[in-house]
Structure 1
Amino acid sequence: MSAGKLLHGHSRHSDGGGTIDYPRGYDVLAEIGFLGRRRGVFTRLAALSGAEQGHQIVDVGCGTGYLTRMLAPIVGREGRVTGLDPSPAMIGHARRRSPDNCSYQVGEGQAMPFPDASFDIAVSSFAVHHMPVSARGTAVREMFRVLRPGGRLLIAEFRPPANPLAARLAAVLAGPAMRPTMPELLADLVPGAGFRVESTGTVGPVLYYVTAVRPLDAPS
């Protein structure tokens, strides 16, 4: 059993997925997994998102709200960061720790409770691998739907480390997240949803990211 599975409260899906219902335990494991570099890695993600003053951002699978809180001072008082997560425990934890320009809703990425073209930016960090296999494509298409034309997407996920010992540790922590590798999966899901990929890269030992744009002339 992976360390990640120990934090899952339950799974409602036959093809994987479920919720993480132990926010404090999740944060502890995240700090260990990033070897004390979690803040630096997420600072980099916030920059890669393209967030600016006044932007409306949705964080899909926001968990404890860590990235949401880092984006909040960037968008400022005129902006808003909305976190979405299927776990009421995670949402409650995030609400208690976030500034006024953050809001949170319980919900799933594959069925977002937001109107079309509601946001300037959609971000998702370490969330896609928690979704049922059959729902991952739907979730990325939902990110496309809720973005305005010209809106930006950032998805950050696990990648297998090159070092064999680190790869073994990552497999224990992430479990099924490494099968198939998320870089391979996102290479199909993101353009398949209609996005134009702008860049891909890595941050730290286990993070792979994709940035993309919803084209201005893309059909709704």
Structure 2
Amino acid sequence: MELARFLHGSSDARTGGQTLTHGRAYEAFGTVFFGGRRGPVFRRLAALSGARPGDRALDVGCGTGYLTRCVAHAVGPTGTVLGVDPSPDVLAHARRRAARHPHCTFTDGIAEELPGPDDAYDVVVSSLMVHHLPEGVRARAAAEMFRVLRPGGRLLLADFRPPAGPLARHLVGAVAGPVMQHNPVHQLHPLVREAGFTSLTSGDLHPWIHYVHATKPE
């Protein structure tokens, strides 16, 4: 279970959730975990978010900033993307990796108290973050994403999808712990809908991702 503790990090006193540590090692693990498909999967997530040149984007629970950098490419130098995470270690790693992208910045913060005023962003994205949050604060996090999006803004929420087969699911549990083994990704859709979003669509990306895309009503 050492790997499970590595994947889920340490307890965050502000939320009761988990904070990732060891940014460099986590980045390396992600490359292996996706079997060489991490780049295509996260570039696809950035495209599915609807991020366009000139957009203002926010990545919630950005971790090492992999998706943040993909979104930075989508919004281009005329746009901006801000990654928010509570872990100093992974933020330091994210800043190093994004040093050549001045429109891609990072700040300390939590999903339940996002930086910025109402209607501040055109796009909000989040990947592999929701399962780190205690169930009791997930609705607050979704409400914050709704708050900071402008009317007509787009949300892309993605999380780990456990394998369907019982043997593969058991293996995931043995390696990564019960959080990953039983991650209820089917709850993402109602979580987003109950926050007030509309025009919901969802899908899966091989090998591990389930996503929901939605819009804040005009």
Structure 1 residue 179 corresponds to structure 2 residue 182: yes
**Mapped contact 2:8–2:132 kept (Cα < 8 A):** no
SS in 2 for 1:111: coil
Amino acid in structure 2 at the alignment position of 1:181: P
State how 1:137-156 maps to structure 2 within 5 Å: 137-156=139-158
Q: TM-score, normalised by structure 2?
A: 0.91
Q: CA deviation at 1:78?
A: 1.1
**Mapped contact 1:61–1:127 kept (Cα < 8 A):** yes
* Alpha-carbon distance in structure 1 between the residues aligned to 2:75 and 2:208: 27
Q: Tell me, which stretches of 5 or more residues in structure 1 are unaligned?
A: none
State how 1:1-220 maps to structure 2 within 5 Å: 1=1, 3-12=3-12, 17-98=17-98, 99-171=101-173, 172-173=175-176, 175-183=178-186, 185-216=187-218
**Mapped contact 1:16–1:130 kept (Cα < 8 A):** no
Change (3 A) 1:164 1:9: closer
Q: TM-score, normalised by structure 1?
A: 0.91
**Mapped contact 1:15–1:133 kept (Cα < 8 A):** no
Q: Tell me, which stretches of 5 or more residues in structure 2 are unaligned?
A: none
* Alpha-carbon distance in structure 2 between the residues aligned to 1:122 and 1:14: 22
Q: CA deviation at 1:29?
A: 1.9
Q: After TM superposition, which residue ranges in structure 1, 4 or more long, deviate above 4 angstroms?
A: 13-16
Aligned length: 215
**Mapped contact 2:153–2:215 kept (Cα < 8 A):** yes
User: Equivalent pairs: percent with the same residue?
Assistant: 47
Q: CA deviation at 1:88?
A: 0.8
RMSD: 1.9
Q: CA deviation at 1:124?
A: 0.2
Query: Which stretch of the first structure deviates more once superposed, 92-101 or 146-155?
Result: 92-101
Amino acid in structure 1 at the alignment position of 2:196: G
